[in-house]
């Protein structure tokens, strides 16, 4: 079968990762790169020896000058719908990162365009492919938990603090953490609950990454540089920040040269209109009650899920990865080992593009369509309103 000639749009952290995965994947042929910062495409072409690749500053120019089958989009969240619509109208299949977009109008527009195109959009909810979540879902479908009563999903993400020096810190670009971050977990809650969400009540606060008078606006100018655990000085904190020898670091340098925007913005003093920890409670149409806790101040990264039903509780954590099923009658525990898959997001990243290839070729596969992906964003919008107005919001 012919390889899927694919263009990657948006060459930041996620797009560079995707370009290298697609380049190595035997069902894809990487044919073009698009980024508004042309120097980023050119750096990647040099570093990955991709001389045959065409580079473009914008998607419309690419689509009118290059033959391709698919467009894969890795730009900031609030740019997704416009790019998806451009690709669909040009007759291409589309892979688009989560979230589908960040406003209700854009969601409606992209759903309409996808329906007009006959359903050619695949939304990249990678956690759906993680064996950990697939096993929980299978156990629930098999009735192991009985009737589901509650679902708890927690996320602790130490890399999340870097959001406060990137576009994710602003609602205008990422919708706030209830959308750019929580859409993953809202999607998981929906999938596990098996019914549409009806009501959300959320509470969130920015308590740690608040302005500090003793710190500067940029790390490199800051008197606290030597001791600050959140400083942008890669060699000082390789766990949190980019390795200075890495491609990501060089991509940041190119970005700074092209835009004048510095990567060392202080996590405390950056302007932001989102939060660093929060909890949302969701009631589903089948009376399941879900909760989601997000915390980006934590010093570790993990996701946890606990589903409690009339017959058993199923619980575990993604970084384990292991599940425990606690049966009620007779009372006993079963431990289920989950295969330790390579790749990010509990192995979900590894399977993502094979699923997209199957989707493009019309083979059976599981995927999240725009109509379903939009539900997670609508939940995020509702959670944001709930926090802003301190009330429960109906969906």
Ligand X SMILES: NC(=O)c1ccc[n+]([C@@H]2O[C@H](COP(=O)([O-])OP(=O)(O)OC[C@H]3O[C@@H](n4cnc5c(N)ncnc54)[C@H](O)[C@@H]3O)[C@@H](O)[C@H]2O)c1
One residue of 74, 157, 232, 367 binding ligand X per CB under 6 A: 74
Q: Is 126 in the site for ligand X (CB under 6 A)?
A: yes
Give the contact letters, 5-24, x = binds to ligand X (CB under 6 A), - = no. ----xxxxxxx---------
Question: Which residue of 7, 21, 40, 241 would you call a contact of ligand X, by CB under 6 A?
Answer: 40
Does position 75 interact with ligand X (CB under 6 A)? The reply is: yes
Taking the complex as a whole, how short is the minimal distance between the CB of residue 163 and ligand X, in angstroms? 9
Task: Give the torsion through C-alpha atoms of 31, 26, 125, 161, to 10 deg.
Answer: -70
Stretch that binds ligand X, among 35-43, 86-94, 301-309, 360-368 (CB under 6 A): 35-43
Residues 41-70 that bind ligand X (CB under 6 A): 58-59
**For residue 14, what are the CA distances in angstroms to 10, 11, 19, 21, 31?**
8, 7, 9, 11, 18
Please tell me whether residue 117 adopts helix, strand or coil conformation: coil
Instruction: Return the residue of 6, 134, 162, 180 that touches ligand X, per CB under 6 A.
Output: 180
Q: What is the dihedral of CA 324, 330, 331, 334, to 10 degrees?
A: -20
Question: Greatest CA separation found in the chain?
Answer: 66
Nearer to ligand X, 58 or 89 (CB): 58
**φ, ψ (nearest 5 deg) of residue 109:** -65, -40
Strand, helix or coil for residue 47: helix
**Minimum CB separation from ligand X for residue 166, in Å?**
6
Going from the C-alpha of 114 to that of each of 30, 61, 180, the distances in angstroms are 23, 21, 22
Q: To which H or E segment does residue 187 belong?
A: helix 182-193
- Report the DSSP beta bridge partners of residue 132: none
- Tell me the number of residues near ligand X by CB under 6 A: 26
Determine the Cα angle at 306 with ends 385 and 158, to 5°.
65
CB closer to ligand X out of 75 and 308: 75
Site string for ligand X, 325-354 (x = CB under 6 A): --------------------x---------
CB of 344 to ligand X, least distance (A): 7
* Stretch of residues binding ligand X (CB under 6 A), selected from 29-37, 44-52, 61-69, 227-235: 29-37
* Residue 275, burial from CB neighbour count under 10 angstroms (0-12, 13-18, 19+): buried
How would you classify the pairing of strands 322-327 and 332-337?
antiparallel
Q: Which stretch binds ligand X (CB under 6 A): 19-27, 76-84, 208-216, 375-383?
A: 76-84
Which among 33-41, 62-70, 214-222, 362-370 is the span making contact with ligand X, rule CB under 6 A?
Answer: 33-41
Binding interface with ligand X (CB under 6 A): 9-15, 34-37, 40, 58-59, 74-77, 79, 97-98, 124, 126, 167, 180, 345
């Amino acid at each position: 079968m012919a390889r899927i000639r694919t263009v990657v749009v948006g060459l930041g952290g996620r797009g560079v990762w995707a370009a290298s995965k697609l380049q190595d994947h035997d069902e894809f042929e990487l044919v073009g790169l698009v980024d508004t910062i042309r120097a980023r495409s050119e750096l990647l072409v040099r570093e990955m020896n991709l001389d045959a690749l065409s580079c473009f500053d914008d998607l419309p120019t690419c689509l009118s000058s290059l033959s391709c089958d698919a467009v894969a989009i890795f730009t900031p969240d609030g740019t997704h719908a416009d790019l998806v619509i451009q690709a669909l109208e040009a007759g291409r299949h589309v892979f688009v990162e989560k979230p589908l977009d960040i406003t209700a109008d854009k969601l409606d527009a992209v759903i309409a365009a996808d329906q007009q195109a006959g359903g050619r959009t695949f939304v990249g909810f990678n956690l759906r492919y993680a064996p950990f979540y697939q096993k929980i879902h299978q156990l629930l479908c098999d009735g192991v938990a009985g009737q589901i009563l509650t679902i708890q999903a927690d996320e602790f993400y130490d890399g999340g603090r870097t959001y406060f020096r990137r576009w994710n810190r602003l609602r205008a670009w990422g919708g706030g953490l209830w959308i750019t971050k929580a859409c993953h977990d809202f999607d998981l809650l929906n999938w596990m609950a098996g019914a549409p969400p009806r009501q959300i009540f959320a509470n969130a606060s920015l308590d740690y990454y608040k302005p500090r008078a003793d710190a500067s606006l940029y790390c490199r100018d800051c008197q606290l540089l030597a001791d600050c655990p959140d400083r942008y000085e890669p060699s000082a904190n390789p766990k949190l920040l980019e390795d200075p020898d890495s491609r990501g670091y060089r991509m940041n340098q190119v970005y700074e040269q092209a835009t004048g925007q510095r990567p060392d913005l202080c996590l405390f003093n950056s302007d932001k209109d989102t939060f660093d920890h929060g909890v949302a409670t969701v009631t589903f149409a089948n009376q399941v009650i879900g909760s989601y806790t997000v915390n980006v101040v934590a010093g570790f990264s993990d996701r946890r899920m606990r589903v409690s039903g009339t017959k058993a509780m199923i619980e575990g954590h993604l970084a384990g990865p292991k599940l425990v099923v606690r049966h009620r009658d007779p009372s006993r525990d079963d431990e289920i080992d989950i295969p330790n898959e390579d790749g990010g997001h509990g192995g979900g990243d590894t399977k993502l593009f094979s699923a997209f290839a199957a989707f493009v070729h019309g083979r059976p596969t599981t995927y999240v369509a725009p109509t379903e992906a939009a539900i997670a964003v609508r939940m995020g919008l509702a959670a944001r309103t709930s926090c802003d107005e301190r009330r429960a919001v109906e969906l």
